[in-house]
A and B are shown apart, each in its own frame.
Chain A
Amino acid sequence: DSGVTQTPKHLITATGQRVTLRCSPRSGDLSVYWYQQSLDQGLQFLIQYYNGEERAKGNILERFSAQQFPDLHSELNLSSLELGDSALYFCASTGGDRGYTGELFFGEGSRLTVL
């Protein structure tokens, strides 16, 4: 158990819809990362927050957005969903009280299926 909690574990929705994925980082971790992994694809970095502020952006579509709240949990919002958005979405946290960012701890992921 990494200590990172993601909900929901599975989500099935239709094209054009909007979903929100939630991530609770390890206790005390300040940084939250979001990754996307499509079928047989590598992990694609989407976005990263540090203590509530956006710090790095990867290949995140404009239809996607994220935020980190004062209690440090994060949400990834996916809108106008397309079939190609079907993927595993992972959240990871790191930092603790020293803020080191190399050792990421990943949640078990949210599997999104768009029909």
Chain B
Amino acid sequence: DAKTTQPPSMDCAEGRAANLPCNHSTISGNEYVYWYRQIHSQGPQYIIHGLKNNETNEMASLIITEDRKSSTLILPHATLRDTAVYYCIVRVREAGTASKLTFGTGTRLQVTL
């Protein structure tokens, strides 16, 4: 799986958009970008994933650059409950078999009043 680089921490004011960057310059053509988050001591939570097109769901938007070497997770209106560690993971999405999902150190997002 391709390696990812994320800033260790970020702050965001409540109500503003939180833009979390991730670099994955060695990404392969069949690797997807996944985002998870972990609120303190809770189980990690899947947020969103994408291959090359921008994706949006009820939680967030994922913007992937045209060369796919970086991406940005956008929380459009951050709330205090979005304070968490956010993990960007790049891996192949395969059916029938499985391989380990490796979490790095992520970005600790602190949402403040």
By a beta-carbon cutoff of 8 Å, the part of chain A in contact with chain B is 2, 4, 31, 33, 35, 42-43, 45, 48, 50, 55-56, 58, 88, 90, 92, 94-95, 98-109, 111
With A43-B103, A103-B34 already in contact, the answer to whether A50 and B97 are too (CB < 8 A) is yes
A99 x B43 contact (CB < 8 A) = no
Once bound together, how far apart are the Cα atoms of A106 and B41, in whole Å?
12
Contact mask B16-47 → A, CB, 8 Å, 1/0? 00000000000000001010101001111110
Q: How far apart are B36's CB and chain A's nearest CB, in angstroms?
A: 8
B105 x A100 contact (CB < 8 A) = no
B99 x A107 contact (CB < 8 A) = no
Which of A56, A90, A103 lies in contact with B49, CB distance below 8 A? A103
Q: A50-B98, A100-B93, A102-B93 are in contact. List 12 more A-B contacts (CB 8 A).
A: A33-B100, A33-B101, A42-B104, A42-B105, A43-B38, A43-B103, A45-B101, A92-B101, A99-B95, A101-B93, A107-B43, A111-B41
B contacts with A: majority SS: loop
B68 within 8 A of A: no
Once bound together, how far apart are the Cα atoms of A35 and B42, in whole Å?
13
Once bound together, how far apart are the Cα atoms of A91 and B45, in whole Å?
12
Give the interface size bracket for B toward A. 20 to 34
Once bound together, how far apart are the Cα atoms of A43 and B93, in whole Å?
20
Once bound together, how far apart are the Cα atoms of A98 and B45, in whole Å?
20
A contacts with B: majority SS: strand
Q: How far apart are B52's CB and chain A's nearest CB, in angstroms?
A: 15
Once bound together, how far apart are the Cα atoms of A50 and B100, in whole Å?
12
**Residues of B74-113 whose CB lies within 8 A of A:** 91, 93-106
A55 x B44 contact (CB < 8 A) = no
A104 x B104 contact (CB < 8 A) = no
With A2-B45, A45-B101, A109-B42 already in contact, the answer to whether A99 and B96 are too (CB < 8 A) is yes
